[in-house]
């Protein structure tokens, strides 16, 4: 091949695979912060948001804590599958899927009137979405930052 230099292609490949430590990475930081502003308060105040609903449909405090703790357990158990899913689909697709699942789970939870409905929509669907989002954003940050990762 005329004009082909193997050294040049190695340098170009290395430049493409190294983290830029900025640029579009700051949009990832912004998106991660925005997602945490939306996700974390919902998780922390779930019992307060649905307190009146729980009284109306006779869900005890024990059942409410089962819903909340099961959501945490599902999100943490998902960690076993996040690595293979991230390798296969990438953090962008998994973040979109996570956002969709979390949003859909919350929308479906808003009309819940049975304990099982809360378990399925909030503890499973919304929690899966939260887990996908958290792992995707963590990988995205590690992809776009090396030197400034701690900031």
For the stretch 55-101, pLDDT in tens is 999 999 999 999 999 998 998 898 889 989 999 999 999 999 999 99
- Please give the C-alpha separations between residue 121 and each of 12, 82, 112, 143, 144, in angstroms, as whole numbers: 47, 20, 8, 32, 33
Helix 61-77 with 79-109: angle, nearest 10 deg: 140
CB atoms near residue 103 (< 10 Å): 14
- Is 13 a residue whose pLDDT tops 50? no
Quick: pLDDT tens for 100-109.
Answer: 999 999 999 9
Could you report how far apart the first and last alpha carbons of the chain are, in Å? 45
pTM of the predicted structure, to 2 decimals: 0.78
Q: Could you tell me if residue 18 is left (phi over 0), alpha (psi between -120 and 50 degrees) or otherwise beta?
A: beta
**Does residue 81 or residue 9 have the better pLDDT?**
81
Which residues 6+ apart lie within 8 Å of 106 measured at CB? 42, 121, 122, 126
């Amino acid at each position: 091949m005329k004009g082909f230099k193997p050294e040049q292609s190695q340098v170009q490949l290395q430049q493409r695979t190294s983290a830029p430590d900025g640029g579009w990475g700051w949009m990832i930081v912004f998106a991660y912060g925005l997602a945490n502003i939306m996700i974390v308060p919902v998780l922390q105040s779930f019992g307060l948001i649905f307190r009146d609903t729980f009284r109306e449909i006779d869900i005890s405090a024990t059942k409410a804590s089962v819903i909340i703790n099961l959501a945490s357990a599902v999100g943490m158990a998902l960690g076993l599958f996040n690595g293979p899913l991230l390798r296969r689909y990438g953090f962008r697709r998994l973040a979109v899927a996570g956002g969709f699942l979390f949003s859909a789970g919350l929308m479906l939870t808003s009309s819940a009137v049975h304990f099982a409905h809360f378990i399925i929509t909030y503890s499973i669907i919304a929690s899966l979405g939260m887990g996908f989002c958290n792992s995707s954003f963590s990988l995205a940050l590690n992809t776009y930052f090396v030197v400034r990762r701690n900031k």
